[in-house]
Structure 1
Amino acid sequence: MTSNVSGTPTGVQTSRRPFATGWTVLAAVLMIFGGAMAIFEGIAAIAKDDLIVVTHDYTYKMNTTGWGWIHLILGILVVLAGVALFTGAVWARAVGVVVVGLGMIANFLWLPYYPFWAIVLIATDIFIIWALCAGTTRTD
């Protein structure tokens, strides 16, 4: 099969949905921003345990330093996945969905510590997963 100048095989039409593509770029930017915020949140929880209010009757009890390490590591992974999305690679989308899904679970478990911020991040993570799954399609 021959290719044209743009690299698309001749005879294959590429159906690009600019709406979904634009949302994917926004999702990558949100991942970088959200990952950076998770990194700062993790550093704050590691450095200063008394900054975070701890509820004593919560099912998923963990030291705030442990939560800080979880958020720090996930934040770094989310930032790296967000940067990789700018390459347009399919593997970056898959990694992004997995890492953001893990971040969503971590924020759900983080609800008693920072409820409003956790809910905002969960909603953002839902949007990011949608945007990464919508993507662009090829039709033959």
Structure 2
Amino acid sequence: MATTPSETRRGYGRPGDNAGLSGASVFAGAVMLLSGPLSILMGASGIASDNLFAASQYAYRFDLTAWGWIHIVVGLALTVAGLGVVTNQSWSRGAGAAAAGISLITQFMFVPYYPLWAIPVMALDLLIIFALTRLQAGTGADR
């Protein structure tokens, strides 16, 4: 009687087990680990009332200190989720997609202050969301 190889488990394995880590996950984690600290630095610049940002009149106008704290919190969330993704933690894909979604929304609202930064970061956030959510969309019959 011939034996059939056991079905390999799709998706994330045990924490620390790199067998379930795909190229898309590594990309998403690396981009979050890049975008998070940069967002934190941008937030620090806003808190320090740096003259880097040109504010105009628009619907989402906040004080630069408020924007600074928003960017710091989002940057910390991206960094923690990025660390979780590259270490293959079970919670990290959902948290990373949520953090990138929140970052996407805040960057959209930040476009009038610094469009040369916000628009490319919005594109990176979309790539992060795509990379983290496209994995393992199939179930049962796709195995």
In structure 1, the partner of 2:60 is 60
Instruction: Give distance in 2, aligned partners of 1:37 and 1:87.
Output: 21
RMSD (Å), alpha carbons: 2.3
Structure 1 stretches of 5 or more lacking a match?
1-9
SS in structure 1 of the partner of residue 88 of structure 2:
coil
Percent of residue pairs bearing the same amino acid type: 33
CA contact (8 A) 1:14 1:138 kept: no
Matching of residues 1-140 of structure 1 within 5 Å: 11-14=6-9, 21-56=22-57, 58-136=58-136
| Alpha-carbon distance between aligned partners in 2 of 1:126 and 1:40, rounded to the nearest angstrom | 21
What amino acid is the match of 1:125?
A: D
- Number of residue pairs the alignment of both structures matches: 128
TM-score, structure 1 normalization: 0.82
Task: Specify every segment of 5 or more residues in structure 2 that has no aligned partner in the other structure, as ranges.
Answer: 12-20
Q: Which has the higher strand share?
A: 1
In structure 1, C-alpha distance between the alignment counterparts of 2:55 and 2:70, rounded to whole Å: 16
The answer to which structure, 1 or 2, has the higher relative contact order (CA under 8 A, 6+ apart) is 1
Task: Output the CA distance in 2 between the equivalents of 1:11 and 1:22.
Answer: 24
Task: Give deviations 1:83-135, integer Å, cap 9, x for gaps.
Answer: 01123233210001111100000000000011121110000000000100122
> Under a length normalisation based on structure 2, what TM-score does the superposition of the two structures give?
0.80
Distance 1:121 1:97 in 2: 14
**Cα distance between partner residues in 1 of 2:26 and 2:131:** 9
Please identify runs of 4+ aligned residues in structure 1 that moved more than 6 A.
Answer: none
Residue type of the alignment partner of 1:30: V
DSSP-derived class of the 1:50 partner: coil
Counterpart residue identity of residue 34, structure 1: S
Residue identity in the other structure for 2:34: F
